[in-house]
């Protein structure tokens, strides 16, 4: 979900693993040459989702070890969910309750889907639609709540180690 900590946690997780971190939204903006918000306004959500899908497929095809933070709506497309279940991928769902998302995003003006008269209602709507999709695609789920970033990262590392995805540091 928007505001769940994907970028913040992803950066720290990548540092812990000594892997490269990539935020798909940043890569999309780099390739577009303008902001996602501007793209939404000029071309609409469907066009954005097309670009997002191409970028996700491109990044997943990389042979480099990386932590990829996708946009919250990436799971809406079946092709993205399938790509995220490619061999070698491990998807972590940072599950965050709507109340915590509202607290984190109360001053955000950059997320196109949250601009409007009632961001809380919009977040609840997004959560209702997306939570089952996140659960479908996730190999691991971490309930973030009000946990500090380093705790969330440690929980992810433990799940990845238990699942045999990464080896513990010696």
Which residues does the annotation place in the binding site for substrate? 25, 49, 72, 130
Q: Is 17:156 a contact under the CB 8 Å cutoff?
A: no
As annotated, the binding site for ATP includes 3-8, 111
SS3 143: strand
Annotated binding site: 3-8, 25, 49, 72, 111, 130
With the CA atoms of 57, 3, 138 and 77 taken in that order, what torsion angle do they form, in degrees rounded to the nearest 10?
-40
Binding positions for Mg(2+): 7
> Would you tell me how many other CB atoms lie within 10 Å of the CB of residue 159?
17
**Residue 134 in tokens:** 């996140």
> For the residues of 79-137, what is the DSSP string, one character each?
HHHHHHTSTT---EEEE--HHHHHHHHTT----GGG-SS-HHHHHHHHHHHHHHHHHHH
């Amino acid at each position: 979900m928007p505001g769940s900590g994907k970028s913040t946690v992803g950066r720290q997780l990548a540092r812990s693993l000594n892997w490269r971190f990539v935020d798909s939204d940043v890569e999309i903006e780099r390739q577009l040459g303008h902001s996602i918000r501007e793209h939404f306004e000029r071309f609409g959500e469907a066009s954005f989702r097309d670009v997002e899908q191409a970028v996700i497929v491109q990044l997943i095809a990389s042979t480099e070890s990386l932590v990829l933070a996708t946009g919250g709506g990436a799971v809406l497309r079946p092709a993205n969910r399938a790509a995220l279940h490619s061999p070698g991928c491990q998807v972590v769902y940072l599950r965050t309750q709507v109340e915590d998302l509202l607290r984190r995003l109360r001053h955000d003006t950059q997320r196109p889907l949250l601009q409007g008269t009632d961001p809380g209602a919009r977040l609840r709507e997004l959560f209702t639609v997306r939570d089952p999709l996140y659960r479908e695609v996730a190999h691991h789920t971490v309930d973030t709540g009000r946990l500090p970033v380093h705790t969330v990262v440690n929980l992810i590392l433990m799940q990845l180690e238990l699942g045999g995805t990464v080896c513990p540091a010696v």
